[in-house]
Amino acid sequence: MKEITDIIQSPLFARKKKKLNRKQIKDLDEAIRTIAQDPETGTLKTGDLSGVRVYKFNSANSLILLAYEIIETTLFLYTFGSHQNFYRELKKYINR
């Protein structure tokens, strides 16, 4: 397993992160640290989302899904959010 050297946020990820409160940002950063330490911790998706992994974590009493992809030693953060319409929005973002 290769060590993660770079973390790149998508513009969508950055816009959504700006809207969070301090506690939610702390939980999100902790999830990103967990992924950086063990990149294969998320569930690997197939089909339209092949290559993308989704990591689930709790924040503010709700389940949050975080979509990311690892290419060589770079971690690409696509988006995060609740389960409702998550995969539909992710497919739309990735396939555009």
pLDDT digits (tens, 9 = 90+) for 62-94: 999 999 999 999 999 999 999 999 999 999 988
The answer to whether residue 1 is domain-embedded is no
In percent, the amount of the chain with pLDDT more than 70 equals 99
pLDDT of residue 60: 86
Contact assessment for residue 78 and residue 40, using Cβ atoms and an 8 Å cutoff: no
Quote the domain boundaries for residue 87: 6-94
Domain assignment present for residue 80? The answer is yes
pTM of the model: 0.92
Is residue 87 a part of any domain in this protein? yes
pLDDT, position 25: 95
Q: In angstroms, rounded to a whole number, what is the distance separating the alpha carbons of residues 21 and 16?
A: 11
In this structure, which amino acid lies at residue 79?
T
Nearest 5°: CA angle at 73, between 56 and 38?
35
Residue 13 maps to a domain: yes
* Total domains in the fold of the chain: 1
Residue 70 belongs to domain with CATH number: 3.30.2310.20
